[in-house]
Amino acid sequence: MRKNTASPQSGKLTTGEFHMKHRYTIWRERGTADWLLIYTIRGRGRFGFAEGEFFAQPGDMVLLRPHTLHDYGLEKSKRQWDLIWTHFIPRPEWHDWLKWPEAARGVMRLSIADREIRERVLRRFRDANRLAHGPFPRSEALAMNALEEVLLWCDAVNPSARERPLDTRVRRAVEFLSSNFADETNAASLARRCGISQSRLACLFREQVGKTPQQFLEDRRMMRARQLLERTQSTIAEIAEQVGFKNPFYFTLRFKRQTGHSPRDYRAKFMIYDR
């Protein structure tokens, strides 16, 4: 009969980074009362379940529900398995993000192919580990915030999520346009940045986002313009320049077409400050 491995100290979050060597294994027949998340950094780990087993590669996330058998360890043919893990109790809003594809009952798995997302996940996972063991008065809350970002990035690539994950190249375009909406950007340079042809990007972007890259860019510009009109005393010309329009008259034309109001009338509607 196999001996049960001791459970980690209870709390909202317990985490660590581990370099597993030799034939180290974990066996908890009844699992634990919390959730367990394991991310493989290097090497290969084995996860067993009633019907068989699977092997976790670098970039794989494995999530075990409460009271699910814990049977995992270093894959026999490997010398090392580098992983980062956390036992946690989810915040209520997290539960929708924890509906991953099941490899077995209570055992879920996500493979993160995108290198940028892998790096972000690992960085924030390590932040959670560092913060959880830090000297800060709210160290657990800070660690939970870092873990929340890890789960959000996992949700972005989860095929079981309500919203279909964006193609990696489309996601890069969305992120670039959102962060650089005030800069001049043309379709050809955007496509080169995303590593895809201009026609293919246009097709994928419209299919997955529901609008063209240019329409998306203008939406972001107008959203920022509305915020500046509502909350600042900047002139119309200054706002036009801040959101990427060199000509304030053309900005006024585009703003009115999208909102139904001129920038001046839109600002007057809110009366946020005394003019």
- Residue 274's pLDDT is 42
CA–CA–CA angle 244, 245, 247 (5° rounding): 160
Intervals of CATH 1.10.10.60 along the chain: 168-270
Name the DSSP letter for residue 99. Answer: -
- Residue 275's pLDDT is 42
Q: Cα dist. 149→5, 71, 127, 144 in Å?
A: 29, 27, 10, 9
**pLDDT above 90 (res 165):** no
- Third-level CATH fold of 168-270: Arc Repressor Mutant, subunit A (1.10.10)
The CATH number of the structural domain formed by 13-156 is 2.60.120.280
Determine the 3-state secondary structure of 170 from DSSP: helix
Separation of alpha carbons 147 and 13, rounded Å? 9
Say if CB 53 and CB 106 are below 8 A apart: no
| pLDDT tens, residue by residue, 184-215 | 889 999 999 999 999 999 999 988 888 899 98
Say if CB 33 and CB 11 are below 8 A apart: no
pLDDT, mean of residues 118-124: 95
**pLDDT above 80 (res 164):** no
pLDDT, mean of residues 216-224: 89
| pLDDT tens, residue by residue, 49-76 | 888 899 999 999 999 999 999 999 988 7
Q: Cα dist. 45→14, 29, 49, 102, 184 in Å?
A: 20, 18, 13, 17, 47
Intervals of CATH 2.60.120.280 along the chain: 13-156
The mean pLDDT value of the chain amounts to 88
Lowest mean pLDDT among 54-58, 150-154, 162-166, 185-189: 162-166
| pLDDT tens, residue by residue, 227-270 | 899 888 899 999 999 999 999 999 999 999 888 889 999 888 76
- Using a cut of 0.75, tell me whether the model's pTM lies above it: no
